[in-house]
Amino acid sequence: MSKSLSIAVALAVALSSASAAFAAAPCRDAKGKFIKCPPAAAAKPTKCKDAKGKFAKCGTPGAKPV
């Protein structure tokens, strides 16, 4: 019983260290050196069109996002 418990603990430690390395990967260059992380991309504004195909303010009746 204790052998299976130790295997489970070892597996959990291995998975947690692997996920930590993956999380730091975007802030490293190809050689593994730390670099400044790129800024997050700005969200694009949502555009909507009415039933006739003309641009309309989102939230008006009949307007659907494109």
Q: φ, ψ for residue 23 (rounded to 5)?
A: -70, -30
Residue 52, sorted as left (phi over 0), alpha (psi -120 to 50) or beta, turns out to be: alpha
Please report which helix (H) or strand (E) contains residue 48, including its range.
strand 48-49
For residues 16-38, average pLDDT: 72
Amino acid symbol at 11: L
User: Does residue 54 register a pLDDT over 60?
Assistant: yes
For residues 14-36, average pLDDT: 69
For residues 3-12, average pLDDT: 57
**In this predicted structure, what is the pLDDT of residue 6?**
58
Helix count (H) and strand count (E) of the chain? 1, 3
Under DSSP, is residue 25 helix (H, G, I), strand (E, B) or coil?
A: helix
User: Does residue 26 register a pLDDT over 90?
Assistant: no
Considering the entire predicted model, what is its pTM?
0.35
For residues 25-33, average pLDDT: 84
